[in-house]
């Protein structure tokens, strides 16, 4: 008999939402996390209605919203001249349309709300400091080896171990994630510092400033006390084949070309750490035998549509529903992938395309801006496909 019926590898947003979704159907699981403590690094996170409806279904939405910030609009602004290009209002008419809100939160706030909910749930066991180094298919069971030398057995294994997934490597032989020369600097700074840099008294929107090969995302988090900033740019050093690329000097040089609001805000970025942007093209095969993948392990995507965590949540719900319908995990895992692969692949592909749309320059940028400026604010037709989707099925 296996030690665990369901072992979830990775205690990020995907792993915790998977455990909570399974528990919603009375299915117990054990979540193992390599870090010494469960937590999230990084800064802000946008959560669209396709995710907030899931948090509501899990009973954690009110808790998550306590510390959240509710932007009035999602804005695209021209980073070079400071002009508004288009805005999507996410106030009452948006909430009425999709049934659930669009909000922004600090990752740590979301993660701790999920973690608290997991801790309260008797069907969920949580273990930190457990780094999975290998798995072995033993037919009915999977043997899971940890870096501390211990081995556990499980009837079914769910890899929620992120973009550099060990579990994915066991299932799919498609090399390393793909870098295209974009790098991100991200972090929270005081809202007052950003207001000063922007020369404004109010920060009430989620704003993306776009320019050739660059963008800057800005939105308040933690009830509006902090401002999350993500500065992304394409590195000339990467193109030149340099070993060191995406450096703080390149950040400064790139954003020095933008309008004063954007350039001043970019100067506030913390330079201690930077994130290379990776994705993969869609690849089927997440479910093989009694092993499957969720979240970035299954379908890592660029963050341009702000959907990676939202998609991980959708995976979790569909996986739990499949297991509730079919107690044979092998069959349920296949059903899960069949339902999720088209949707997650579409988001992966469109995230990449949206990045190209944001980053174009020259005449093409002028054409893009012309089209964006013609768009009506209350036209939701471009986002219905993404936000109206319900993984829960109502």
Ligand X SMILES: Cc1cc2nc3c(=O)[nH]c(=O)nc-3n(C[C@H](O)[C@H](O)[C@H](O)COP(=O)(O)OP(=O)(O)OC[C@H]3O[C@@H](n4cnc5c(N)ncnc54)[C@H](O)[C@@H]3O)c2cc1C
Which residue among 310, 332, 360, 392 contacts ligand X (CB under 6 A)?
310
- Beta bridge mates, 219: 228
Which residue among 4, 78, 121, 161 contacts ligand X (CB under 6 A)?
161
10 binds ligand X (CB under 6 A): yes
230 binds ligand X (CB under 6 A): yes
Question: Which range, of 32-40, 68-76, 91-99, 323-331, touches ligand X by CB under 6 A?
Answer: 32-40
CB 74 within 8 A of CB 206: yes
What SS3 string covers 160-224? CCCCCCHHHHHHCCCCCCEEEEEEEEEEEEEHHHHHHHHCCCCCCCEEEEEECCEEEEEEEEHHH
Residue 212 φ/ψ, nearest 5 degrees: -60, 115
Structure tokens at 340: 């999720």
Residue 195 φ/ψ, nearest 5 degrees: -60, -40
292 binds ligand X (CB under 6 A): no
312 binds ligand X (CB under 6 A): yes
Chain residue whose CB lies nearest ligand X: 308
Q: Choose among 185, 182, 257: nearest CA to 228.
A: 185
CB of 370 to ligand X, least distance (A): 28
For the chain, the distance separating the N- and C-terminal CA atoms, rounded to the nearest angstrom, is 37
Of residues 102, 185, 219, 387, which has the active-site annotation? 219
Residues 257-286 that bind ligand X (CB under 6 A): 275
Q: Is 219 a catalytic residue?
A: yes
CB 228 within 8 A of CB 44: yes
Give the burial string for 273-289 (b: 16+ CB within 10 Å, else e): ebeebbbbebbeebbbb
33 binds ligand X (CB under 6 A): yes
87 binds ligand X (CB under 6 A): no
**Is the CB of 162 or the CB of 355 nearer to ligand X?**
162
Question: Which range, of 58-66, 299-307, 365-373, 380-388, touches ligand X by CB under 6 A?
Answer: 299-307
125 binds ligand X (CB under 6 A): no
71 binds ligand X (CB under 6 A): no
21 binds ligand X (CB under 6 A): no
Q: Choose among 160, 81, 166: nearest CA to 118.
A: 160
CB of 365 to ligand X, least distance (A): 22
Question: Which range, of 136-144, 161-169, 175-183, 251-259, touches ligand X by CB under 6 A?
Answer: 161-169
75 binds ligand X (CB under 6 A): no
Residue whose structure tokens are 């870098």: 179
| Alpha helix segments (H runs only) across the chain | 13-24, 49-57, 61-66, 92-98, 107-120, 166-171, 191-198, 236-239, 248-255, 260-266, 308-325, 329-359, 362-374, 384-387
Which residue among 186, 222, 261, 359 contacts ligand X (CB under 6 A)?
186
d(CA 175, CA 172): 8
Q: Choose among 76, 104, 88, 75: nearest CA to 359.
A: 76
The mark string for 313-352 relative to ligand X (x by CB under 6 A, - otherwise) is: ----------------------------------------
CB of 336 to ligand X, least distance (A): 15
45 binds ligand X (CB under 6 A): yes
Question: Which range, of 10-18, 235-243, 323-331, 380-388, touches ligand X by CB under 6 A?
Answer: 10-18
220 binds ligand X (CB under 6 A): no
Which residue among 2, 22, 306, 358 contacts ligand X (CB under 6 A)?
306
Which residue among 3, 5, 35, 267 contacts ligand X (CB under 6 A)?
35
CB of 117 to ligand X, least distance (A): 15
159 binds ligand X (CB under 6 A): no
d(CA 59, CA 55): 6
Q: Which residues are catalytic?
A: 219
Q: Which residues bind ligand X (CB under 6 A)?
A: 9-15, 32-35, 45-46, 131-132, 160-162, 166, 184, 186, 230, 275, 295-297, 303, 306-310, 312
């Amino acid at each position: 008999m296996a030690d665990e019926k369901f072992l979830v590898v990775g205690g990020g947003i995907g792993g915790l939402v998977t455990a909570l979704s399974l528990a919603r159907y009375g299915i117990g699981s054990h979540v193992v996390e390599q870090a010494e403590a469960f937590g999230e690094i990084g800064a802000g996170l946008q959560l669209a209605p396709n995710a907030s409806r899931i948090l509501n279904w899990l009973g954690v939405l009110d808790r998550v919203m306590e510390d959240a910030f509710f932007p009035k609009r999602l804005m695209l602004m021209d980073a070079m001249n400071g002009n508004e290009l288009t805005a999507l209002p996410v106030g009452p008419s948006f909430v009425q349309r999709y049934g659930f809100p669009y909000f922004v939160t600090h990752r740590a706030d979301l993660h701790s709300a999920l973690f608290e909910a997991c801790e309260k749930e008797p069907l969920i066991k949580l273990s930190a400091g457990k780094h999975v180094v290998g798995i072995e298919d033993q037919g009915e069971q999977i043997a899971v080896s940890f870096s501390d030398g211990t081995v556990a057995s499980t009837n079914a294994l769910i890899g929620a171990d992120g973009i550099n997934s060990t579990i994915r490597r066991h299932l799919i032989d498609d090399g390393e994630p793909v870098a295209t020369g974009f790098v991100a600097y991200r972090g929270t700074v005081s809202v007052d510092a950003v207001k000063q840099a922007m020369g404004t008294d109010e920060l009430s929107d989620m704003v993306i400033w776009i320019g050739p090969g660059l963008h800057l995302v800005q939105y308040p988090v933690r009830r509006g006390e902090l401002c999350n900033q993500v500065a992304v740019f394409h590195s000339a050093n990467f193109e030149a084949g340099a070993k060191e690329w995406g450096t703080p000097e390149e950040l400064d040089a790139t954003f020095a070309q933008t309008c004063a609001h954007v350039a001043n805000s970019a100067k506030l970025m913390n330079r201690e750490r930077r994130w290379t942007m990776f994705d993969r093209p869609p690849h089927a095969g997440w479910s093989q035998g009694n092993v499957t993948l969720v979240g970035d392990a299954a379908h890592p995507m660029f963050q341009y549509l702000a959907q990676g965590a939202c998609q991980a949540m959708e995976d979790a719900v569909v996986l739990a529903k499949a297991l509730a319908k079919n107690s044979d995990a092998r069959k349920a895992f296949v059903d899960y992938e069949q339902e999720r692969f088209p949707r997650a692949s579409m988001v992966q592909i469109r995230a990449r395309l949206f990045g190209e749309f944001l980053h174009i320059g020259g005449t093409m940028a002028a054409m893009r801006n012309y089209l964006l400026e013609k768009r009506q604010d209350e036209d939701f037709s471009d986002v219905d496909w993404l936000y109206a989707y319900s993984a829960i099925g109502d």
